Chain A
Amino acid sequence: MFRKLPDPACATVAVTVDGQAMRVATHETAASAALLAAMGATRTSPVNGEPRAPFCMMGVCYDCLMVIDGVPSRQACLVPVRDGMRIERQAGARALAFGSAETADV
């Protein structure tokens, strides 16, 4: 469904998407990286448990909420990738507290 335009000269960074290592172009976002990884649903709804995935890709629909570098509920479509980024599926609602080691810039 998604096909990247060929751009062999493009610089890339290393990220993990749900643990799977991959290289993506520097201009990707965490949401587009998740789509390229073909991970399917990137979160489940906290209200009814239904699967969700990036939809609008421009910060409006909130369907792309993911855990990025340990920080939950980030709008993945608005987060540019960077080297070493961990992008993870989010299950339902975030917890109130998350570990002090996971305080990446939000």
Chain B
Amino acid sequence: MAEASFDFVVVGGGVVGSSIGLGLARRGARVAILDQGDTALRSSRVNFGLVWLQSKGDGMPEYGRWTRRSADLWTEFAAYLQDLSGIDPEHEQKGGIAFCLGEAEFEHRRNTIQRMHNQVEPWVYETRMIDRKAVEALYPGVRFGPEMVGASFGPHDGVTNPLRLLQSLHGALKRVGIAYRPDAPAQAIQSDGGGFVIDTPAGPFRAGKVVLAAGHGTTGLAATLGLEAPIVPERGQLIITERVAPILPIPASGVRQTRDGTIMIGTTHEAAPDLTTRATTANAVHIAERIVRLIPDMARVKMVRTWLGLRVLSPDGFPVYMESETHPGAYVAICHSGNTLAAVHANDLAEAFLAHRLPDTLAPFHPRRFHVSQAA
């Protein structure tokens, strides 16, 4: 079979791979995206949809700056996607809330926010603590429980509809001429003189450069190219309610209302080394208990379903970007916050891959940070 030949092959057609691929093609590269089809453990289809800054970067200020850069690019990115695909990713950036139940949570949150502000330039987060009265003013339709003492408010936070985003991205891929191949999951990759040959069930693909961005499916392929993709999978379960008249105009960490009225409530953090995806009643109860403490009226809102997704987390929770030393032109990109970082992936990261040089600002994201010898 004749090999299809591209400047870049991106392995992974979720939000991360699609954003990078779109950014590359937008800048003139001939791109193919190889995907696993509907059987993939696709985090893009099972997530909460926040485009979120205020909690990002504690211990790694570069991540805070990188996330802020993406938040700043997102509105233009959303307009670009809608223009190209005709599908609105439903992005909103009206700020975001992290509720605090009780003084202890409020103090803890205040300290965290303060610590993060101390680690980075003041313009990055601009998150501030607000008291109960100020929270109530933001949600005039909600009667909060007595424990809600306040919240942190991040003015740069927002949301997207994750399913619409993925749909919009895929629509855009088509429009810019990217070969999107859900029938051609990458099985093996060999370097071949000036480039790479990627074996798939649909035949081989040839590429000058290759980007591995397949979330939970990245690790094995990465190893064969001298790349590292350390992932510590984590389950996050959430509850979806019946539709309710609009009452939550601003998204919060762990509770938000979609445009259609559904309320999404999260979430759990469970180690998931076996990648199993079974939701449990116990988790649903745990999630429900907290939302009822926050908003007692939620006790009479019907739960429609509960489900979970697997987070793509590195050992420290920060993204991993690297170029292979043994196979130059092979890159890896894995991160938990594919929605939040979509805009910067489609811009700065795609540019870095095109320029064949990862800028110094991305150096902290190299997985060498996990090497014991480096830490000593």
Contacts and interface: CB of A to CB of B under 8 A. Distances in A.
Interface of A: 46-47, 73, 92-98, 103, 106
Contacts of A103: 300
B128 to A, nearest CB: 27
B245 A93 contact: yes
Contact of B302 (A46, A47, A73, A92): A73
A92 B245 contact: yes
Contacts of B297: 96-97
B243 A93 contact: yes
Contacts of B302: 73
17 contacts: A46-B245, A46-B260, A47-B260, A73-B242, A73-B302, A92-B245, A93-B243, A93-B246, A93-B261, A94-B242, A94-B244, A94-B245, A95-B245, A96-B141, A96-B295, A96-B298, A96-B301
- The listed residue with most A CB atoms (<10 A of its CB), out of B245, B295, B297, is B245
A63 to B, nearest CB: 13
Given A46-B260, A46-B261, A93 B300 contact: no
B143 interface: yes
Contacts of A93: 243-246, 261
Q: How large is the interface on B (under 10, 10 to 19, 20 to 34, 35 or more residues)?
A: 10 to 19
The 5 tightest CB contacts between A and B, nearest first, are A97-B297, A93-B243, A93-B261, A46-B243, A93-B245
A95 B298 CA distance: 11
B109 to A, nearest CB: 25
A77 to B, nearest CB: 15
Contacts of A96: 141-142, 244-245, 247, 295, 297-298, 301
Nearest to A102: B300
A94 B243 contact: yes
Contacts of B260: 46-47
- The listed residue with most B CB atoms (<10 A of its CB), out of A46, A73, A97, is A97
